[in-house]
A and B are shown apart, each in its own frame.
Chain A
Amino acid sequence: MIRLLLSLMIGALVTASQSAAQNGPLRIEIDQGVIEPLPFAVPDFVPASAAASDLAKQVARVVAEDLSGTGLFREIPASAYVSRVRDFAAPVNYEDWKVINAQALITGSAKVSGSNLTVQFRVYDVFSGAELGAGLQFTGPTAGWRRMAHKVADAVYSRITGEGGYFDSRVVFVSETGPKNQRRKRLAIMDYDGANVQYLTDSSSIVLAPRFSPTGDRVLYTGYETGFPRIYVLDIGRVQRRALEQQDGTMSFAPRFAPDGKTVVFSLTEGGNTDIYTMSVDTGQTRRLTSAPSIETAPSFSPDGRQIVFESDRSGTQQLYIMPAGGGEARRLSFGQGRYGTPVWSPRGDLIAFTKQSKGRFHIGVMRVDGSEERLLTASFLDEGPTWAPNGRVIMFARESQGAQGRSALYSVDITGRNLRPVRTPDGGSDPSWSPLQN
């Protein structure tokens, strides 16, 4: 029986129903306490057709990268194998995998027929000598082979941790080139791991802070196309955008969708004063939620749509507040030393991620929704703009380096503060927004 305790300082991670359904001998308990990554083996998948021989290897590699990339798993290299998997249907010889201490074994096959690829896989708990869950198969266009690999990895992750995965997801972000005083920005979308980058706008005007819709089909962002910042909604599939309604002489920015996908919460500045409003995407009807001379911005809905977390300098410095979704009295969340901004509600509902400035440094942190158990996950010259992985376990953010040559890059970190790693992008990157899991 394998038990691997992984640290999670904040919160019970697995709901009772999930854990009951998923309890098996091979299990990573993502919980307080550490922390040896679980050793696994993913031999090349078995090609079930000649045309699939390359893909069979590549799919297995992506599965391995996904799992290793979490920091929760460690791959046993193929050079250590004492046997090979030549037949996906044949029984596994557990002893061959025990001797190399592969606690989990993932086998699979890949078959190309026409323009489609079919991937089958099985997960084994080596030391229990049993399969973990049933074998599964995915079929889809061959061009989408990476997505199928991510789906395999999501299933493995989910079976072993008891939590939802996050590999079959995308990130929309601002791709950046050029020096600080001539920076060119354009919207880009990519797989969560940096693969398949596509550009959604050109760099002729500034674009900022894209945000996914709850179903991942649209993106809100702030653009300067007219010379003044305003909010656009972009249909990803058709790469078509339109500006949301805006009154002359005002400026709008910091949009995010409500969980219903029909309402946008955003900041509107009029006469130098910035407050929070909601707007119906379809009708353009707006509703003002705050009316204070202070700066109210960076709003983010709770997953149930009932509350909004935002930042305000009404106390004199930037701090975090939560108010009802229709506006009304707000309660202050952050009381620590320093300034708090860009709050984002976790998709699980339990935590708020934020950017903190303190003593000349920037941090990405998380706290509970009552403001307790603040925990800083990163520290650098300039970290900002957290976004949650679909399972609420990982945060992606932007890190800008110091000085005249400074550039911005995307990073991810676990909510334990472990596994800080750069996200591969072709150029610089900022303002990431993580999609929900794809269907």
Chain B
Amino acid sequence: MSILKKILMIGALVTVSACTDAGRLGGLGGQDAGAGAIVPGSANDPASPAYFNQTVGDRVLFAVDQSTLSVQAQTILESQAQWLLTNAEYSAVIEGHADEQGTREYNLALGARRANAAREYLISRGVAGTRLKTVSYGKERPIEICSEESCYAQNRRSVTVLAGGLTS
């Protein structure tokens, strides 16, 4: 899913669920029930990976050559932590990625820093470290392919990829 789409969806959610505390999408427990019937497993089922990916937000973005978490990134990770604490049967692999402006090995190491920054944040919010693995793809898996900052900004990311249950 494109980031733009995701942003639009988040926007839509904020609009309909005015009862959640402003700007914080981490509030769980069905506050968005007013948006309609919950279809289990769909994006409006708060316990679904689709909800995690689309509504909570599965990724955070980083500045050029940085692995520090912006305020916005921390907000998303806070919501991820809440979701993971509520849905304890899930584990996650956090992928770190870099844009193409860098050498291959350095970008692998940079992606690892980013993934680790996200992991450490989730742990600091109470998620057990045993549930969270990290992997770096460096610049090997861009989602946007233009050679401009608009694409690079989307590629400098960590993505929290849910794995179906602790046993899997």
Contact = CB atoms under 8 A, between A and B. Distances in A.
Interface in B91-123: 93, 100-106, 108-110, 112-113, 115-117, 119-120
6 contacts: A181-B141, A206-B137, A229-B136, A274-B109, A297-B108, A406-B145
Interface in A324-347: 341-342
Interface of B: 67, 93, 100-106, 108-110, 112-113, 115-117, 119-120, 133-137, 140-147
A355 B143 CA distance: 25
B140 A400 contact: no
B101 A297 contact: no
A180 B133 contact: no
Nearest to A405: B145
Contact of A404 (B104, B134, B146): B146
B119 to A, nearest CB: 8
A254 interface: yes
Find the residue from B102, B103, B134, B144 having the highest chain A CB count within 10 A.
Answer: B103
A100 to B, nearest CB: 48
Contacts of A229: 108, 135-136
Contacts of B142: 180-181
B159 to A, nearest CB: 14
A384 B113 contact: no
Contacts of B145: 179-181, 404, 406
B105 A382 contact: no
A272 B116 contact: yes
B146 to A, nearest CB: 5
B106 A295 contact: yes
B117 A357 contact: no
Interface string A247-288: 001010110000000000001010111100000000000000
A29 interface: no
Given A228-B133, A403-B147, 20 more contacts: A180-B142, A181-B142, A206-B140, A208-B140, A251-B112, A253-B105, A253-B108, A254-B105, A267-B109, A269-B112, A272-B112, A273-B113, A273-B116, A341-B105, A341-B106, A357-B102, A385-B104, A400-B100, A403-B146, A404-B147
B105 A297 contact: yes
A298 B105 contact: yes
A274 B165 CA distance: 30
A237 interface: no
Contacts of A163: none
B117 to A, nearest CB: 7
B143 A181 contact: yes
A271 B106 contact: no
A342 B147 contact: no
B92 to A, nearest CB: 13
A66 interface: no
A385 B109 contact: no
A382 B101 CA distance: 8
A81 interface: no
Interface in A146-201: 179-181, 183
Contacts of B140: 183, 206, 208
B133 to A, nearest CB: 7
A325 to B, nearest CB: 19
Nearest to A249: B133
A272 B133 CA distance: 11
Contacts of B135: 227-229, 251
Contact of B116 (A183, A271, A382): A271
Contacts of A357: 101-103
